[in-house]
């Protein structure tokens, strides 16, 4: 077998076909579990161990990516002063958004979620993970190289992260303060990295309220082309 860097280029992948009954059971059970995930906007201040966050990031980083370039970096923040700076900067942008940059139609669409420019979760949550996409690779020697399908890759990694957070019994919010360049400055990230998503993580504050939403039924989100 052809080799690169002394590693075999391809190795066997062992897998076993399982019965239809088991498949239906497993997929139904995972669906039922996934369907209990909700975005949470009020967090308990209970600390979460760094090792937990490390495991979550390792899980997110198992995501597939264009040419296996893994074009992401996860900044994990528990530092109170830094969280506070992030909150102040995010609220400044969001105030502009809610006061003038968002269209009336957009604000109407957001009404059921009862969001506003106030982002206390950015200080309450024990951890914030800011996900950056690497639009290109910047090597230690100053050389640049290409990354591919960066948005797709980082989007998948974020989805994997959200699923892992839910599986741990923790909650998260996909927060999109916009524009997000303040995060590059506060976290001192290099020019090849662009902020993608800000994800507060922790336990849900108790009691807390969530919007009483329903999900689109299967028929509205799928089309099947069969024999
Ligand atoms: N980014 C703003 C507004 C916002 C936009 C959408 I689309 C949402 O689903 C929720 C909020 C904010 O985070 O408040």
pLDDT in tens, 141-176: 999 999 999 999 999 999 999 999 999 999 999 999
Given pLDDT bands bounded at 50, 70 and 90, which one contains residue 4?
A: low
Q: Give residue 2's pLDDT.
A: 54
Tokens read off for 11: 């190795």
Q: What does the buried/exposed string (b/e) look like for 22-40 if buried means 16 or more CB atoms within 10 Å of the residue's CB? A: eeeeeeeeeeeeeeeeeeb
Q: In a 3-state reduction of DSSP, which class is residue 208? A: coil
Answer for the pair 201, 125: CB distance below 8 angstroms, yes or no. yes
Among 101, 104, 114, 176, residue to substitute to test ligand 1 (most atoms within 8 Å of Cβ): 176
Could you give the CA distance from residue 56 to residue 129 in angstroms, rounded to a whole number? Answer: 10
Return the best residue to mutate from 42, 111, 115 for the ligand 1 pocket (most ligand atoms within 8 A of CB): 115
pLDDT at 53 (0 to 100): 99
Residue 10 has pLDDT above 70, yes or no: yes
Check pLDDT > 70 for residue 27: yes
Q: CA 167 to CA 49: how far, in whole Å?
A: 16
Query: What tokens appear for 30 in the block?
Result: 């995972």
Tokens 């992948």 belong to which residue? 13
The pLDDT assigned to 85 comes to 98
Q: 110 in ligand 1 pocket by Cβ < 6 Å?
A: yes
Beta carbons within 8 Å of 134's beta carbon, 6+ residues apart: 69, 71, 72, 73, 147, 150, 192, 193
How close is the Cα of 175 to the center of ligand 1, in Å? Answer: 7
pLDDT at 1 > cutoff 80:
no
> Rounded CA gap, 100 and 17, in Å?
56
Smallest CA separation from ligand 1 atom 9, residue: 110
Q: Which residues contact 153 (CB under 8 A, 6 or more apart)?
A: 63, 64, 65, 66, 69, 70, 71, 72, 133, 147
Nearest CA to ligand 1 atom 7: 110
- Is residue 174 within 6 Å of ligand 1 at its C-beta? no
Taking all residues of the chain, what is their mean pLDDT, rounded to a whole number?
96
Contact between 218 and 27 under an 8 Å Cβ cutoff? The reply is: no
Cite the DSSP H helix spans in 15-143: 20-34, 50-60, 80-96, 104-110, 121-124
pLDDT for the residue 3:
56
- Residue 24: which of 32, 15, 16 has the closest Cα? 32
Residue appearing with tokens 């797709």: 152
């Amino acid at each position: 077998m052809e080799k690169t860097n002394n590693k075999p280029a391809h190795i066997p992948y062992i897998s076993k076909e399982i019965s239809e009954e088991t498949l239906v059971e497993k997929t139904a059970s995972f669906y039922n579990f996934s369907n209990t995930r909700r975005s949470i906007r009020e967090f308990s201040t209970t600390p979460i161990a760094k090792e937990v966050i490390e495991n979550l990031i390792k899980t997110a980083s198992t995501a597939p990516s264009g040419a296996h370039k893994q074009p992401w970096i996860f900044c994990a923040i528990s530092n109170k002063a830094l969280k506070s700076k992030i909150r102040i900067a995010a609220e400044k942008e969001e105030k502009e958004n809610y006061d003038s940059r968002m269209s009336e139609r957009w604000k109407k669409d957001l009404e059921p979620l009862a969001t506003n420019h106030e982002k206390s979760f950015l200080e309450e949550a024990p951890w914030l993970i800011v996900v950056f996409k690497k639009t290109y690779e910047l090597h230690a020697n100053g050389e640049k190289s290409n990354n591919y399908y960066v948005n797709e890759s980082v989007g998948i990694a974020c989805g994997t992260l959200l699923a892992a957070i839910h599986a741990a019994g923790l909650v998260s919010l996909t927060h999109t303060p916009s524009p997000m360049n303040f995060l590059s400055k506060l976290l001192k990230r290099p020019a090849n990295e662009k902020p993608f998503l800000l994800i507060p993580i922790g336990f849900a504050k108790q009691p807390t309220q969530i919007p009483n939403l329903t999900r689109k039924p299967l028929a509205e989100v799928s089309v099947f082309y069969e024999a």
